[in-house]
Structure 1
Amino acid sequence: MDIPARIAAFRADGKDRYGVVTDAGIIDLTPDYGSRFEGLQEAVEAGALEELIAAAEGRAPTWAEADVEYIIPIARPEKLICIGVNFPDRNAEYKDGQAAPSKPSMFIRFPRSFTGHGQNLVRPPESEQLDYEGEVTIVIGKAGRRIAREDAYDHIAALTLCNEGTIRDWVRHAKFNVTQGKNWDSTGSIGPWLVPFRDASQLDDIELTTRVNGEVRQQDRTSRMMYDFRYIVNYVSTFCTLVPGDVIVCGTPTGAGARFDPPIWLKPGDVIEVEAQGIGILRNGVEDEPC
């Protein structure tokens, strides 16, 4: 599957910008649309992603990719919701003897816990247990409450990727929640860009792969998810109103570092790549937090 139009948020010349990514570089649309849309979040809220793509047609790149710093595409979502244990083998990894749950596990992350494509994940001094989780991520484009399964795809504006980086020992600090281990600053990443959602084939059965230093650690297909994308939109919208710009991170396959014996934690110098067909590759290094 070819990658369709890609719209990225980035920082260049000291300013946050957005534009269309091509093989030759990035077409900066901020000068044309900045007065209407402060960022891609506002463009999603206005239903204007296709307008931005059309505006870049036939234009020469403004920036080389090497001259920009990618930032997370949706800077201030009202909700950033993560789905846990959403592939069959992930449930078996827990080795707790429990059957697969009938409803999804969920938790909330803060935008500050993510960084952009090409930036380093940050390992804090309080723990060496920084782990990776590659996930397909959807961005809501149309508001709704109690959205029917058959209508769910009408509410998705775009797709992106997430490395849902986690501090494992802090996840286990409490009995019923994982918030502490999921929200350290810059421990995860989202990006590299938004791919407008146009067709069910972009989600229903695509391959999702995570590599660490070139080694495949996670690989599965979205058709094997226990809770598919339609179900996720339906379920989440039952208890809260989904609004344009909301971000839902939809679950990771088996193979995170915690599941090796002994565990393999991320360390400075590692390179993690999360790749999904038709979306792209989200790539990040690792560094220690300056003390």
Structure 2
Amino acid sequence: MKLLRYGPVGHEQPGVLDKAGRVRSLAGIVDDIDGALLASGFAALSGIDFDALPLVADEVRIAEPVARVGKFICIGLNYRDHAAESGQPIPSEPIIFTKATSAIIGPNDTVLLPPTSAKADWEVELGLVIGKECRYVSEADAMDHVAGLCVVNDLSEREYQLERGGSWDKGKGCDTFGPFGPWLVTLDEVDDVGNLALWLDLNGQRMQTGNTSALIFNVPFIVHYVSQFMSLQPGDLITTGTPPGVGMGKKPPMWLKEGDVMTLGIDGLGQQRQDVKRYGA
């Protein structure tokens, strides 16, 4: 299944993509695409003929595909080439940091640069959403706890992240710095989590090209590893790191500015598009 949410901010409805790629409404069948639905194993959707559901207008806003994300957990420097372009050593264990859930927006919503931001950056990443509570899970059993996969743009303000002291979090959790979606794609729709192509373009120019086969720590290991330090709940979102090609790694560095347009995607998981503006402009 390719599950999604649609509608104006604060009034989103649950939906699903049919075989022809059209949005169908799940309103009246499920309350929302959220942790409760994921924890049930999508029980309410069993036996539903998605192609018979009401069609949704083409021009509708597509929202983040999971409501009320509990934790937004990120893995840093998880591609060797990205670690190198960042001037950082290859990590011996996964680097964990968090983004504020208030950073989450829909996949095509506007990204707003903070008023004092001068070094905002892009990062296409594979995201995974937890479907079943887990703690201290083994790597072998880790994927049994994953509801599905998605596209995430882990935007970063590098000055805030690296030059302002303390943890990375202050450069990661800015409002609108977590575009998420367009879909939550269940694992039965993905041939190989370890072989998915990622890409990101800025103003039509390719910046990032990568593949999850190059992850230092793969998806099952990440779920296993994170669960050693905190329990994971249905609806939690984990991003798995970005391939090389971020603005910080360019010579000279490139930073997002008002008027920029980012487009990004992952094989089989859909695409995003964000216009860049400045908060208050």
The alignment's TM-score, normalised by the length of structure 1, stands at: 0.89
Structure 1's unaligned 5+ residue stretches are none
* 1:244 and 2:234 aligned: yes
The one of 34, 47, 69 equivalent to 2:61 is 69
Work out the CA distance in 2 between the residues paired with 1:10 and 1:200.
Answer: 23
Counting only pairs closer than 5 Å after superposition, residues 157-168 of structure 1 correspond to structure 2 as 157-168=147-158
Structure 2's unaligned 5+ residue stretches are none
8 Å CA contact 2:124, 2:243 repeated in 1: yes
8 Å CA contact 2:4, 2:33 repeated in 1: no
- AA paired with 1:90? H
Aligned partner of 1:20 in structure 2 is 16
Aligned residues, how many?
280
Q: SS of 2:50's equivalent? A: coil
CA 1:153 to 1:199, structure 2 compared with 1: closer, same or farther past 3 Å? farther
* 1:33 and 2:25 aligned: no
8 Å CA contact 1:107, 1:179 repeated in 2: yes
Deviation at 1:110, TM superposition (A): 1.4
The one of 8, 11, 15 equivalent to 2:7 is 11
Work out the CA distance in 2 between the residues paired with 1:33 and 1:93.
Answer: 45
Deviation sequence 1:123-156 (CA, Å, 0-9, x none): 1211132211000000011112111111111111
- AA paired with 2:205? E
8 Å CA contact 1:210, 1:273 repeated in 2: yes
The one of 48, 61, 74 equivalent to 1:55 is 48
Deviates more, 1:154-163 or 1:190-199: 190-199
Work out the CA distance in 2 between the residues paired with 1:107 and 1:151.
Answer: 23
Moved over 6 A (4+): none
Counting only pairs closer than 5 Å after superposition, residues 1-150 of structure 1 correspond to structure 2 as 5-12=1-8, 15-22=11-18, 23=20, 25-34=22-31, 38-48=32-42, 51-52=44-45, 54-59=47-52, 61-66=54-59, 68-95=60-87, 98=89, 100-150=90-140
Aligned partner of 1:215 in structure 2 is 205
Deviation sequence 1:51-105 (CA, Å, 0-9, x none): 5375242325431231x22222223222210000000111211335x4x121111
CA 1:24 to 1:136, structure 2 compared with 1: closer, same or farther past 3 Å? closer
- AA paired with 2:52? R
8 Å CA contact 1:130, 1:187 repeated in 2: no
- AA paired with 1:209? W
Q: Percent of counterpart pairs with the same letter? A: 31
8 Å CA contact 1:173, 1:180 repeated in 2: no
8 Å CA contact 2:130, 2:237 repeated in 1: yes
